[in-house]
Amino acid sequence: MDHMTLGLTHLYSGKVRDIYEVDDAYLLMVASDRLSAFDVVMNETIPQKGRVLTGLTNYWVSEFADDVPASLVSCDPVEIDAFVPGFLAETTWHGRSMLVRRAEMLALECVVRGRLAGQAYEEYVAKGTVGEMSVPAGMRLTDPFDQPMFTPSTKAEVGHDVYIDRAAAASLVGSDALDEAQAICLDLFDRGAASLAKVGLILADTKFELGYVDGALVLCDEVLTPDSSRIWPAESVRSGETPPSFDKQPFRDWLAAKSWDRTPPPPEVPDEIVRVTSDRYVAAYERVTDRALSDWYGE
């Protein structure tokens, strides 16, 4: 069975997700096991990855539900079947599918940074700023900021997103929407970071997606997953050193040793790297949620 027999219209395929139209009000987002690096999708897939991304998003949306509404309606196959007749029989999609309300997406990637890493570190080394904003001198890789920073970027149709300053962000979405998005995202970051700290994890940075449903700004797409966030084991973080992330690190380490020019075709990923990377995703889900992945839909 596929989306044709379910009567769904395929709208979009990203690096990981496929989006289908249910009707004028609802979409079905299906997270695959695809793995990408430098905007190139590998030929190999990572077992359980799509279920982990979906299960974690569902977990965080539930955690935040009292304060910030979300576009997510349900991940429960029985509930999805009421909107998409025949879905119950499509077992390969169970646990990796989210029924969501259509949203008018905010034209920004809402990035929050608690630690100096990634593109922010590269900018800091080059210019002494982060997101075009001044930060203290003398910071080293992984050092925490005085307080988390909201560093929005443009949404690029192709290639990498581009980080922009506050004035440019306000010109894109309006200053009121920018203020509201910043307040929501900083609050969610603080709450997510505090929750992760309880299980010995550091939330270094993350990307939130926001959109309007019935005129209200709500949380959309994936939330605090290993794909949208840098999450580090607290015991492994040393100032000035690259810490091991809690997700694709075995894959990243292997890739870093390859003489690949970061353009297609991608290198062949060994079975052992696939297995270890899959184990990391599963461990991320179970450590964060304190639940077994085998209890999530689609087992």
Q: Which of 131-140, 250-259, 261-270 has the lowest mean pLDDT?
A: 250-259
Question: Can you tell me the distance from the alpha carbon of 171 to that of 108, in angstroms, rounded to the nearest whole number?
Answer: 11
* 166 CB neighbour count, 10 Å cutoff: 17
- Given this model, what pLDDT does residue 226 score? 93
pTM of the complete model: 0.94
- Contacts with 176 (C-beta within 8 Å, 6 or more apart), sequence order: none
| pLDDT score of 283 more than 60 | yes
Check residue 20 and give left, alpha or beta (phi > 0: left; psi -120 to 50: alpha): beta
Q: Please choose, from the candidates 156, 107, 158, 152, the residue with its C-alpha nearest in 3D space to the C-alpha of residue 131.
A: 152
Structure tokens at 199: 């299980």
Q: State phi, psi for 124 to the nearest 5 degrees.
A: -65, -45
Query: Residue 120: what pLDDT?
Result: 94
Q: How far apart are CA 169 and CA 107, in angstroms?
A: 9
Q: What is the pLDDT of residue 4?
A: 65
Strand partners, 192: none
- Measured between its terminal Cα atoms, the distance across the chain in Å is 18
**The token pair that represents 43 in the structure block:** 């030929």
Write out pLDDT tens, residues 22-51.
999 999 999 999 999 888 999 999 999 999
**Per-residue model confidence (pLDDT) at position 223:** 98
The torsion region of residue 298 among left (phi > 0), alpha (psi -120 to 50) and beta comes to left
Q: State the pLDDT confidence band at 296, using cuts at 50, 70 and 90.
A: very high
- Integer Cα distance of 145 and 40 in angstroms: 31
Phi, psi of 221 (to 5 degrees): 60, -150
pLDDT in tens, 119-168: 899 999 999 999 989 999 999 999 999 999 999 998 876 666 788 888 99
Contact 284, 269 (CB under 8 A): no
Q: What value does the mean pLDDT take over residues 251-270?
A: 92
Per this entry, what is the length of the chain? Answer: 299
Q: What domains appear along the chain, each with residue ranges and CATH number?
A: 1-102 (3.30.200.20), 105-236 (3.30.470.20)
What phi and psi values does residue 140 have, to the nearest 5 degrees? Answer: -120, 165
Separation of alpha carbons 265 and 255, rounded Å = 14
* Residue 5: band (very low, low, confident or very high) from pLDDT cuts 50, 70, 90: low
DSSP string over 145-173: EEEEEE--B---SSS---B--HHHHHHHH
**For residue 173, what are its two tokens?**
């979405």
Is there a contact between 299 and 77 (Cβ–Cβ < 8 Å)?
Answer: no
Give tens-digit pLDDT for 201-216.
999 999 999 999 999 9
pLDDT in tens, 169-187: 999 999 999 999 999 999 9
47-86 pLDDT tens trace: 999 999 999 999 999 999 999 999 999 999 999 999 999 9
